[in-house]
Structure 1
Amino acid sequence: MNIAIFLQYYHTPDCPTAARPYALVKRLAQDHDVTVITTRSWEPRRLSQDFPWVPSGANLVRFDVPYHNSMSSLERLRAFLSYAVRAVAHGFRMPPPDLIIGSSPPLSAAMVAAGVASLRGLPWIFEVQDLWPEFPIQMGAIPGPGLPSLLYGLESALYRSATHVVPVSPDMERHVHTLAPNASTTSLEYGTDLQLVADITDDQRSRMRRDLSIDRPSLVLYAGKFGRANAIPTLLDAAQQLSDRSDLLFAFAGRGYYDSAVQQAADQHDHIRAIDPLPYPDTLALFSLADVSLVSFLDRPVLAANSPSKLYDSLATGTPVVVTNPGWTKRLVERHACGWYTPPESPTRLAHRLRRVFDNPDRLEEAGRNARTVAHQQFDRAALMNQYASLIDNVRGST
């Protein structure tokens, strides 16, 4: 089968990301001819050279469309439109594939997939990695009321037009059915690469502990974007409230809007570390060093529905999590006793929760065991990609 994937932001495990697009492309290319229509935006951000940028059996069509987190809303819109125009043109020039996948965000990539599929009479799968336009609307990036209403209508139309919709969390799936009750859907979470976790060595952990100056008995880790949506001020405030705990070290690994705030806290407090982004395998090793990880977002309904890759990576390494999402992640960690919930607007409650966690080492150890169990049972990325491959075969066979 020939499969075309419209995906604006493709990356590999050499980047400081969870690399799910790479895993999907690599898996599908085992059985099919796969062409990814993407951009070069992540290529310069590779931090290592351990993985082939193009998996065997795949072909990448790459456009030069810059993108970075410091862009204004207008600059981002220009990047989305630039990709969309080029991707549409390529979509009509290329030989017709048997199936199209369109991955959002941004919503424009899914629009391209839908348009090419419709005009060429092809089935298409809508992969929903974030809820757009819900996310930028709830974060105040899109003025109302006219434009949001237009975008909601477009989103609903895309769900209805897709042959199948693949959200990456159960709450996203519920959102899809709210707008398109008859949509055919299957939730497939990001998951994590359990083989990379198994490959982590004691020597690697020892080197990382030394190189990153992890010099206290217990490590609390936040690894991910320092974005406006990630409640970073709450985490920093909670860490500072725990300055009396000589056993605790807080590590913040990543980049984003709150770079300066994280670095300032690290400069002022011995128990706080700022760590540059790491390639995905090293990030997994860092999670394996941690005793607790923090998976934090602001209190917005759209953020409660998201699928944070750092959640799966933490669970896979046996590191329990404190989540601030009141949605499905809260239900997950409480149901499986592999973590805890605190509201994102209360650094004092987070600090209190961490005190209780570290004052009860038996419960912490049990939560770690439960974390590893649920990751192996539900979030093995290889198994999830096999499910994705089977879903694609079924979609193609039913059209």
Structure 2
Amino acid sequence: MGFLYQLGINLAALLLPVSRFFSPKMKLFVDGRKQSFAVLENQIDKNQEYIWFHVASLGEYEQGLPVMEEIKAQYPEYKLLLTFFSPSGFEIRKNNKIADITIYLPLDTKQNVKRFLDIVQPKMVFFIKYEFWPNYLYELKNRNIPTYLISGIFRKNQLFFKWYGGFYRKALQSFDHFFVQNDASAQLLKSIDFNNSTVNGDTRFDRVAQIVERAQPLDFIADFKNNTTTIVIGSSWVDDEAIYLPYLNNSENVKLIIAPHNIKEEEITRLISKIDKKTVRFTNYKTEELKNADVFIIDTIGILTQIYAYADIGYVGGAFKTGLHNILEPATYGTPVVIGPKYSKFQEAKDLVALGSCLVVHNTEELSITFNRLITDADYRNELGIKNLEFVLKNKNATKVIMDFIERNI
């Protein structure tokens, strides 16, 4: 297995430059990594010590952020290095204010790994959720660099738990401690003789609680809402549109705010062309248009989490595709949540569905029935919203558990 991995990662290093000609995303992926070592060599201060955080994309960044902020506050003598794997995370958060240096993670080849660690020489390393790069992990272990997993979640079908997964199981030995989201993950680790785990939940609960505490009023959203029942559709994909657009075009006495996942101009234009209601968009709205509009398209990034504060109902996209987006953002405002059926990889979704406060729909008919009941039955809507808020509040403080551990071991 190890030989195949090394062969595969080295082939990827050779072939990925070709892929940049066929996909804008791959162009960012490849070109961005070309700059990583130059940035490190220019910006790493050899007189400083660094704590390294690695995230896959935007969701994992949000999970790591509460811990990064606490480390920055409690240990200001350290600088923070943040690496991303995916362009969809890096391009949005490359100018973040928390990390001292933010780059793409160089590919997991042995040569890259040694060069990276020789330059950075991190004091401590945090990987978020499920980023497991064997060559990085092996070398961190070889150098005795403390390494932790935050908000980890494990599933039985992962390679670690297969009879042929020894190469990947060995990589897990690099982690000094696993902070995992649920008991099932801790039990899976124990089944392969890893007893160094703590079940402390998901740091995203701390993050969404921060968002509410720091939220600023959005007067333009209040003007659009105009005391009318409002549905916020967040991070929606084309697959979601196929479900909600028929409802939207036949709805009455309700307003919809749509924040698509893809905000490219051609995608926004295509979406608007399918809407039969009076529609305005964030980038060119006029204040006097808002009160009489039926649909508000949010064709920008960075404000969806605050917009959820104005939602009577939240629909979170991605679960008709392959990856549900963050349902905790509307839940933390005490809003009932509606999602599609592909949510099994998301613990918070499974928990809220079990509570009955996150409702699953499979088609337009189910979505229409669900929305109509939530709109007409205020008591039912409030009951579900309260359950969601209580769930978020109950699961806060995962970050404190991590920081208490770090304080004892730093």
* Offset, 1:246: 1.2
CA RMSD of aligned residues (A): 4.3
Q: Does 1:385 align with 2:399?
A: yes
* Offset, 1:264: 2.6
Match of 2:30 in 1: none
Match of 2:213 in 1: 198
Matches within 5 A, 1:68-147: 81=107, 86=112, 88-95=114-121, 97=123, 99-103=124-128, 106-108=131-133, 111-112=135-136, 114-127=137-150
CA contact 1:287–1:317 (8 Å) conserved in 2: yes
Q: Does 1:207 align with 2:202?
A: no
Match of 1:265 in 2: 271
Percent of residue pairs bearing the same amino acid type: 10
CA distance in 2, matches of 1:249, 1:321: 16
* Offset, 1:176: 5.0
Q: Aligned with 1:107: secondary structure?
A: coil
CA contact 2:235–2:318 (8 Å) conserved in 1: no
Match of 2:328 in 1: 312
CA contact 1:253–1:274 (8 Å) conserved in 2: yes
Q: Does 1:347 align with 2:347?
A: no
CA contact 1:239–1:272 (8 Å) conserved in 2: no
CA contact 1:219–1:249 (8 Å) conserved in 2: yes
* Offset, 1:80: 5.2
CA distance in 2, matches of 1:244, 1:259: 25
Match of 1:369 in 2: 386
* Offset, 1:340: 3.1
CA distance in 2, matches of 1:240, 1:184: 47
Moved more, 213-222 or 353-362: 213-222
What amino acid does structure 1 have at the position aligned with 2:220? R
* Offset, 1:390: 1.3
Give CA-to-partner distance per residue, 1:174-208, whole Å, 9 cap, x none.
6655666645243431113434413435xx23323
Q: Aligned with 1:29: secondary structure?
A: helix
* Offset, 1:287: 0.5
What amino acid does structure 2 have at the position aligned with 1:101? F
Give CA-to-partner distance per residue, 1:62-94, whole Å, 9 cap, x none.
44x4xxxxxxxxxxxxx7517985554232344
Distance 1:104 1:118, change over 3 A: same
Match of 1:290 in 2: 311
CA distance in 2, matches of 1:374, 1:291: 18
Match of 1:57 in 2: none
CA contact 1:294–1:322 (8 Å) conserved in 2: yes
TM-score under structure 2 length normalisation: 0.65
* Offset, 1:353: 1.4
* Offset, 1:233: 1.6
Give CA-to-partner distance per residue, 1:88-124, whole Å, 9 cap, x none.
4232344562x4323365433x741x22321112332
CA distance in 1, matches of 2:211, 2:242: 30
Q: Does 1:4 align with 2:29?
A: no
Listed as ranges, the gaps of 5+ residues in structure 1 are 55-59, 66-78, 138-148, 227-231
* Offset, 1:272: 4.8
What amino acid does structure 2 have at the position aligned with 1:91? L
CA distance in 2, matches of 1:260, 1:132: 38
* Offset, 1:286: 0.2
CA distance in 1, matches of 2:264, 2:227: 25
CA contact 2:336–2:388 (8 Å) conserved in 1: yes
* Offset, 1:225: 6.4
CA distance in 2, matches of 1:157, 1:268: 52
What amino acid does structure 1 have at the position aligned with 2:116? H
Distance 1:347 1:328, change over 3 A: farther
Listed as ranges, the gaps of 5+ residues in structure 2 are 1-48, 278-293
What amino acid does structure 1 have at the position aligned with 2:52? I
Q: Which has the larger radius of gyration?
A: 2
Match of 2:289 in 1: none
* Offset, 1:348: 2.4
Match of 2:175 in 1: 162
CA distance in 1, matches of 2:114, 2:226: 52
CA contact 2:63–2:151 (8 Å) conserved in 1: no
CA distance in 2, matches of 1:298, 1:100: 32
Give CA-to-partner distance per residue, 1:108-144, whole Å, 9 cap, x none.
3x741x2232111233212366779989x9xxxxxxx
CA contact 1:316–1:375 (8 Å) conserved in 2: yes
Match of 2:66 in 1: 23
* Offset, 1:376: 2.1
Q: Aligned with 2:201: secondary structure?
A: coil
Moved more, 19-28 or 254-263: 254-263
Q: Aligned with 2:74: secondary structure?
A: coil
What amino acid does structure 2 have at the position aligned with 1:52? K
CA distance in 2, matches of 1:83, 1:218: 53
What amino acid does structure 1 have at the position aligned with 2:212? V
* Offset, 1:277: 3.5
Give the alignment partner of residue 230 of structure 2, picking from 219, 239, 254: 219
Q: Aligned with 2:271: secondary structure?
A: helix
